[in-house]
Amino acid sequence: MKLKKEVTVIVIILVFMLAVFLVNNPGITSLTVLDETSIIIENARLKFNELNTNYANILNVMAVQLDSSKLDEFQSRLNSLEGKDKEDGAKLIKAELESLLDPLPKKISKISTLRDSQILEPKDVKYSYTLSSSEELYLYQKKFNVVFEASKYDIESYSGSKARYTIIKKIITNAENINEFFVYELLPISKDAVNFNNKAYTLEGNAAKYEFSYAGNIEITYSINQDIDVTNIYGFKTIIVPKAQASIITTEEAKLYTCGDSTCTLPYEDEIICPEDCIARGKKIPWPYIITLIIILLLGISYLNLYRGKGDFRKLSRGKTPFASNVDMENVKNFIKNSINKNVKMKDISKALLAKGWNKRQIEYAFEEARWDLKKILLETAPKLNLGNVTAAEEYARKCVSLGMDELKIKTALFSKGWKPEQIDKALKKAKSDGHRYF
């Protein structure tokens, strides 16, 4: 019993002595500044390699270099420290290292990407870009196809600060292998917020000007240190201008139309380029023309009643199409249908179209056209009964309800595909409770 007490006392004394020793020698229980700096260097090297592998293009556009050789230099300086001033030297190196790393990106996260084709209108092409006329320059744009990608990234730096950047890429397809031309990239924001890093350019007013001397496809990429809203992304227009100041239109093209010949020849004329031909001016219409219109009108009414239903007769009261051509209307209509299929809300679709330059009348007209097409397609493509995917009926009913489709037609379409009445009623109830309607 006495021996046990003595052992206990000895253990207590040893523990006390160890505690005193550790208090007087903190370096044994904690990392030294030199160790901490080495860990920072190693972690930064891993991050550099990760970002250079996954986001090399983004770093290049932002003019950011993550150079591991600089980290090697810091590590070499650490390894060369000796003597009693070793810790003080490590503190200086650590401060320099943190100063280098603080503004650099530590984490990059992609938020979203919008890809679309550029659609220019005559009003987008300014006369000041060339000595040729604005009408000729507008037609010249049709020799190229411009697609843009706008991607948003959240970037966190080593200092802990966070920022959102927008990266815009323009892909220009040179369909006719034209060489010797300029590309003007119009900037609807301050030039100070834009970083061009991949090609030589000059700034002219609110545009960045590029010069190209080869026939081939082109990519122009730049970064913006702002979160650009979707409605403003379409404001970054691309205008292509030939270097030669000669007439842009060939002799054959020039013969296709003459402004003032009472014929609106698309795509070479529109309301802006030639209002004399493309805007009605109240001229007296000859009787043969009136009779022809009446016949066409009667045939159209018959077609609408036989194939599109009496309810669609209201289209006749909407007047003349506000689009300059059927191609324009189809482009807008397809954009609406594709957006609806992706569950994009009507107000967001309208915003995007307004940003592209379409007016409210054109958008409303295209929405009406798109609604009938979608309703017709939905009635013909109701999903078959699938016990493995019972939500298919709910999704179908939701789309139909959002388009304002008659409830009886929805039930009939689903019933014809094998769905039971109780399943159909449940799907309709769920769809109506969501309350989202496009029209």
Flag whether pLDDT at 365 surpasses 90.
no
When mean pLDDT is compared across 12-21, 66-75, 113-122, 416-425, the lowest value belongs to 12-21
Higher pLDDT, 357 or 317: 357
Flag whether pLDDT at 309 surpasses 60.
no
When mean pLDDT is compared across 150-159, 182-191, 203-212, 238-247, the lowest value belongs to 238-247
Flag whether pLDDT at 435 surpasses 70.
no
Flag whether pLDDT at 313 surpasses 80.
no
Q: Identify residue 116 by its one-letter amino acid code.
A: D
> What's the pLDDT score for residue 311?
46
The band of 326, judged by pLDDT with boundaries at 50, 70 and 90, is: confident
> What's the pLDDT score for residue 306?
46
Q: Identify residue 122 by its one-letter amino acid code.
A: P
> What's the pLDDT score for residue 256?
47
Flag whether pLDDT at 190 surpasses 80.
yes
Higher pLDDT, 343 or 417: 417
When mean pLDDT is compared across 132-146, 281-295, 365-379, the lowest value belongs to 281-295
> Residue 334's Cα: distance from chain center in Å?
17
The band of 202, judged by pLDDT with boundaries at 50, 70 and 90, is: confident
| SS3 annotation, the chain | CHHHHHHHHHHHHHHHHHHHHHHHCHHHCCCCHHHHHHHHHHHHHHHHHHHHHHCHHHHHHCCCCCCHHHHHHHHHHHHCCCCCCHHHHHHHHHHHHHHHHCCCEEEEEEEEEEEEECCCCHHHCCHHHCCCCHHHHHHHHHHEEEEEEEEEEEEEECCCCEEEEEEEEEEEEECCCCCCEEEEEECCCCHHHEEECCCCCEEECCEEEEEECCCCCEEEEEEECCCCCHHHHCCCCEEEEECCCCCCCCHHHHCCCCCCCCCCCCCCCCCCCCHHHHCCCCCCCCHHHHHHHHHHHHHHHHHHHHHHCHHHHHHHHHCCCCCCCHHHHHHHHHHHHHHHHCCCCHHHHHHHHHHHCCCHHHHHHHHHHHHHHHHHHHHHCCCCCCCCCCHHHHHHHHHHHHCCCCHHHHHHHHHCCCCCHHHHHHHHHHHHHHCCCCC
Question: In angstroms, rounded to a whole number, what is the distance separating the alpha carbons of residues 205 and 203?
Answer: 6
Cβ–Cβ under 8 Å, residues 347 and 294: no
Angle 86-101/33-54 helices, nearest 10 degrees? 20
For the purposes of burial, counting CB atoms within 10 Å of the CB of 252, is it exposed (0-12), middle (13-18) or buried (19 or more)? Answer: exposed
> What's the pLDDT score for residue 255?
43
pLDDT average, residue stretch 83-102: 88
> What's the pLDDT score for residue 325?
84
Average pLDDT, the chain: 78
> What's the pLDDT score for residue 249?
39
Express each pLDDT in 204-218 by its tens digit: 888 889 888 877 788
**Which phi and psi (to 5°) does residue 345 adopt?**
-75, 155
pLDDT average, residue stretch 212-228: 86
Flag whether pLDDT at 224 surpasses 70.
yes
Write the CB contacts of 352 (distance below 8 Å, at least 6 apart in sequence): 230, 231, 234, 335, 339
Q: Report how far apart, in Å, the C-alpha atoms of 46 and of each of 34, 49, 51, 343 are.
A: 19, 5, 9, 40
Flag whether pLDDT at 315 surpasses 80.
no
> What's the pLDDT score for residue 293?
74
Q: Quick count: other Cβ atoms within 10 Å of Cβ 346?
A: 17
Domain spans of the chain, in order of start? 23-101, 107-249, 382-434
> What's the pLDDT score for residue 252?
40
> What's the pLDDT score for residue 305?
54
Flag whether pLDDT at 25 surpasses 50.
yes
> What's the pLDDT score for residue 71?
92
pLDDT average, residue stretch 324-342: 83
The pTM score is: 0.49
Higher pLDDT, 169 or 289: 169
pLDDT average, residue stretch 50-59: 91
pLDDT average, residue stretch 312-333: 72
Sign of the four-CA dihedral 367, 373, 379, 383: negative
Question: Counting every residue, how long is the chain?
Answer: 439
Closest to 233 in 3D by CA, of 340, 172, 147? 147
Flag whether pLDDT at 91 surpasses 60.
yes
